[in-house]
Amino acid sequence: MSKKPLTVLLANPRGFCAGVERAIEIVERALERYGAPVYVRHEIVHNRFVVESLEAKGAVFVEELEEVPEGVPVIFSAHGVPKEVPSEAERRRLFYLDATCPLVSKVHREAERHARVGRQILLIGHAGHPEVIGTMGQVEEGAILLVENVDEAESVQVDDPENLAYITQTTLSVDDTIEIIAALRRRFPAIDGPKKEDICYATTNRQEAVKAIARNCDALMVVGAPNSSNSQRLVEVARREGCPKSLLVQRAADIDWEALGEIQRLGLTAGASAPEVLVEEVIAACRDRFDVQLQNVSGVVEDVTFKLPRELTAKTASA
């Protein structure tokens, strides 16, 4: 039986960002340099495939520092950690490497700067996300209030509207965040904050790339993990942009083709922590069922790279 035609629109840019590439490289280089095992506190990036690939090379993933034995290196994930984590590592004399994305560290420095001059801080972000926990942990407890949506922006009670600042999580929906900031600015005209928000270039570019194709698709798949904030936002952006059949897919085997129904044009993208090999896997699964025509939709070309920690580039190992 001949296969039905399917046009697959590939969003650009998609997949790995510079912060994720750096974090993975830190683990790989640490394994080469210090040998297995290397411990990693929390999933280095939110993707099971990446985590399992690193586990196969000798990385051990734990949730808390107390699970790390003496004498082995430990790496902090790309999402960042509260200040007490490196302090505790130093107290225990653990050798640690920090894979926090430099764009998350930048938000940490903003929080510190506001706290130093006595401003109360509103953090726009999602409760419980490790980046939010890490950012809140840069300053004294209680110095940051979390604002998750417009309703909370409309109702949050602050100490002094004249002495206030906002910062944001890096992986939010750009459009939602604009609305939340507008509500805060309306209520607190003197609020200090970044020029736009702290959403990173990769999150912004991937959302723009989805907007560029969503309207032209019968369905859209975002390759990514359920705990990946930027991947979840891509699904929401696609739905809002006019493609209600938008879904998150971890692996090709998870795709419920029956539920997708009749489709002729499929949009495909990947969150910042999802490797391209998983996108290729989905394309291969499409080819098994359809006569696929692949269309690479052009978008912003990214050239961001981040330096590795000095310990990994110095000639002699420092652990």
Give residues in contact with ligand SF4 (CB under 6 A): 17-20, 78, 101, 103-104, 170-171, 200, 202-203, 230, 272
- Residues with Cβ < 8 Å from 97, sequence gap 6 or more? 26, 30, 73, 74, 75, 76, 309, 311, 312
Contact 29, 97 (CB under 8 A): no
Q: Which of 21, 43, 110, 131 is catalytic?
A: 131
Catalytic-residue membership of 302: no
Is 18 or 222 the residue whose CB approaches ligand SF4 more closely? 18
| Rounded CA separation 271/232 (Å) | 8
Structure tokens of 188? Answer: 């607190």
Helices and strands of the chain, counted as H and E runs = 12, 12
Eight-class DSSP state of 300: P
Is 103 or 220 the residue whose CB approaches ligand SF4 more closely? 103
Q: Tell me how far, at minimum, the Cβ of 20 lies from ligand SF4, in Å.
A: 5
Closest residue to ligand SF4, judged by C-beta, is: 19
Name all contacts of 295-299 with Cβ < 8 Å and 24+ positions apart.
Answer: 295/7, 295/8, 295/9, 295/10, 296/10, 296/12, 297/9, 297/10, 297/11, 297/12, 297/209, 297/212, 297/213, 298/12, 299/11, 299/12, 299/13, 299/205, 299/208, 299/209, 299/212
Is 198 or 311 the residue whose CB approaches ligand SF4 more closely? 198
Is 46 or 119 the residue whose CB approaches ligand SF4 more closely? 46
Is 104 or 252 the residue whose CB approaches ligand SF4 more closely? 104
Q: Tell me how far, at minimum, the Cβ of 275 lies from ligand SF4, in Å.
A: 13
Q: Tell me how far, at minimum, the Cβ of 2 lies from ligand SF4, in Å.
A: 42
Q: Tell me how far, at minimum, the Cβ of 262 lies from ligand SF4, in Å.
A: 34
Q: Tell me how far, at minimum, the Cβ of 229 lies from ligand SF4, in Å.
A: 8
Catalytic residues: 131
